[in-house]
Amino acid sequence: MSHPRLPVLFEALHHGERHVGFGHPEDGAPLTLYRVEEGRTAAAFIATDGSEQALRTALTEGAATVTVTADDPELRLLPPLLPAATGNALLSGFMGTHKKKWGGETAREGAEFTPPKWFFKGFGDWVRLPGEALNVPAHPVALIEEPEVALVYVNDADGTPHYAGYTFGNDLCDIGLHRQDPGYNPYCKLCDTALTPWLFLGPPPRTVTGRVTISRDGATAWEGAFDCGDDALYHRVQDMADHLFTFPAVRRPGLVNYVLLGADEASFHDGFRIADGDRIAIDVTSHGVAFENQVRYVSPAPSTTPGAAPAPAAEAPEPVPAA
C-alpha cells in the first residue's frame, strides 16, 4: 500500500521495451505505462525541477501507453533510473551515520564537518530487486541486514549531480569480518544489496520507520524495528552528499549514483546470526513499502590463475566479538 502523500515514479521493461509509470502499483490493479527511450527518464530529472507534474509532462506527452497489472508476467521492474549500460551506475554508501552510534547526539550546527567513512558496493547490475536472492560468500563470519534509505542522483553532461529522489534497500554485509579487522571492510561489503524499484520524489525523508522479520524454515527466527530517516542520523544528509560529490570519480557525465545513508542497529546486535536460506523481509511501514529477499551462500569455482599453488586448508574463523 503506497503512502498517500508521496509521489512515486518507477521504470519497467514490458515485452522488453522500457516504460515509466507513476504510483506504487498493487498486485492485480490496472497500471498505465508510458513508453520511453533509454535515458529519457534520467534526462527529465536534469531538464526539469524534478516535481511530479513536470516529470509527467516531460515523460507522458505523446508517449505510447499500455495498461497492464502489476503481476503481469511480461512486466519486469527496474532499479530507479538504471542505465542499460549498467556500468554507468554506482552503488555506494556511508558508515556510522546514526545517532545511536554517537551516543544519541547529532553534529553541532556550524561545527567543522568530519565526513563519515564511505564504501563502494558495486555497479548497477550488482543491484538486486525484491524477490531476488542475495548472494554472499560461502563462509561469512557474521552477516547483518541493513535497512537503509538510498538517495538517487543522475549526473548531467558536465558531471553536475542532479538529485532525483530516494528509495529503500537492504545493504547486506559481513559485519563479523569487519569487526575482525576494519581493514577488511571492502571484503565485508562484497555481498549483494537489494533496492526497491520505487523512486519517491521529494527531499530525503526525515522519518523512516519499519520492521525487519527474518524467517528460517518457514518460521519467524528474529524480528525487530528500525529507523533510518534523516532525524535518526548524526550527520546531516546535505553535508554527506556535498562532500561525496567533491570527488571527480562520482561526477562522471551520465553516471547514476545510488547513495546509501547508513543503517540502524539490527539482528546482529541482538545476538542473532543470519544463516544460508534465511528470508529477510523489510517492511518500511512509514512509506508503505515491503520487500523480501532470500540469503544464499555461494561457493564459486576455484581460480584458474596459471601457476597458482593449491589453496591451504581453510582455518576456523576467529571468534566474532559479542554483540
Higher-confidence residue of 101 and 67: namely 67
Pairing of strands 209-216, 219-227: antiparallel
Band (pLDDT 50/70/90 cuts) for residue 323 is low
What integer is the mean pLDDT of 151-174?
98
The pLDDT tens digits of the residues spanning 224-270 come to: 999 999 999 999 999 999 999 999 999 999 999 999 999 988 999 99
Residue 29 has pLDDT above 90, yes or no: no
- Please state, in angstroms and rounded to a whole number, the distance separating the CA atoms of residues 7 and 14: 22
pLDDT for the residue 318 = 62
Number of domains in the chain: 2
Regarding whether 98 and 235 lie in a shared domain, the answer is yes
pLDDT for the residue 322 = 54
Phi and psi based region of residue 104 (left: phi greater than 0; alpha: psi -120 to 50; beta: remaining): left
Asked if 83 and 40 touch (Cβ cutoff 8 Å), the reply is no
Whether residue 27 is contained in a domain is answered as yes
Regarding whether 277 and 191 lie in a shared domain, the answer is yes
Band (pLDDT 50/70/90 cuts) for residue 307 is confident
What integer is the mean pLDDT of 120-148?
96
The set of residues, in sequence order, having a beta carbon less than 8 Å from that of 137 and lying 6+ positions away, is 174, 190, 191, 297, 298
Coil/strand/helix, residue 267: helix
pLDDT for the residue 319 = 62
Band (pLDDT 50/70/90 cuts) for residue 2 is very low
Regarding whether 89 and 74 lie in a shared domain, the answer is no
Regarding whether 123 and 190 lie in a shared domain, the answer is yes
Regarding whether 150 and 87 lie in a shared domain, the answer is yes
Asked if 18 and 36 touch (Cβ cutoff 8 Å), the reply is yes
Regarding whether 228 and 133 lie in a shared domain, the answer is yes
Band (pLDDT 50/70/90 cuts) for residue 308 is low
Whether residue 314 is contained in a domain is answered as no
The pLDDT tens digits of the residues spanning 178-204 come to: 999 999 999 999 999 999 999 999 999
What integer is the mean pLDDT of 132-158?
97
pLDDT for the residue 311 = 59
Mean pLDDT of the chain: 92
Residue (of 252, 11, 230, 262) closest to 154 by Cα position: 252
pLDDT for the residue 320 = 63
Regarding whether 140 and 70 lie in a shared domain, the answer is no
Whether residue 320 is contained in a domain is answered as no
Asked if 67 and 140 touch (Cβ cutoff 8 Å), the reply is no
- Please state, in angstroms and rounded to a whole number, the distance separating the CA atoms of residues 103 and 96: 12
pTM passes above 0.85: yes
- Please state, in angstroms and rounded to a whole number, the distance separating the CA atoms of residues 322 and 304: 38
Which phi and psi (to 5°) does residue 205 adopt?
-75, 140
What integer is the mean pLDDT of 106-124?
90
DSSP helix, strand, coil percent of the chain (3-state; round to 5) = 20, 35, 45
Whether residue 130 is contained in a domain is answered as yes
User: Cα–chain-centroid distance for residue 203?
Assistant: 17
Asked if 320 and 176 touch (Cβ cutoff 8 Å), the reply is yes
pLDDT for the residue 315 = 59
- Please state, in angstroms and rounded to a whole number, the distance separating the CA atoms of residues 173 and 121: 10
Q: Which among 39, 57, 78 is the end of a domain?
A: 78
Whether residue 318 is contained in a domain is answered as no
**CATH of residue 130:** 3.90.850.10
pLDDT for the residue 226 = 96
Regarding whether 219 and 91 lie in a shared domain, the answer is yes
Regarding whether 272 and 196 lie in a shared domain, the answer is yes
Whether residue 205 is contained in a domain is answered as yes
Whether residue 284 is contained in a domain is answered as yes
Regarding whether 97 and 50 lie in a shared domain, the answer is no
C-beta neighbour count of 265 within 10 angstroms: 16
Q: Which among 52, 78, 104 is the end of a domain?
A: 78
State what percent of residues in the chain have pLDDT above 70.
Answer: 93
Q: Which among 78, 95, 119 is the end of a domain?
A: 78
pLDDT for the residue 1 = 42
Band (pLDDT 50/70/90 cuts) for residue 25 is confident
Domain of residue 249 covers 83-298
- Please state, in angstroms and rounded to a whole number, the distance separating the CA atoms of residues 308 and 170: 36
- Please state, in angstroms and rounded to a whole number, the distance separating the CA atoms of residues 156 and 150: 20
As to burial, measured by CB atoms within 10 angstroms (0-12 exposed, 13-18 middle, 19+ buried), residue 50 is middle
What single string gives the DSSP state of each residue in 136-195? EESS-S-EE--EEEEEEEEE-TT--EEEEEEEEEEE-EEHHHHHH-GGGHHHHT-S-EEE
The set of residues, in sequence order, having a beta carbon less than 8 Å from that of 228 and lying 6+ positions away, is 98, 147, 148, 149, 208, 261, 262, 263, 264
Regarding whether 253 and 179 lie in a shared domain, the answer is yes
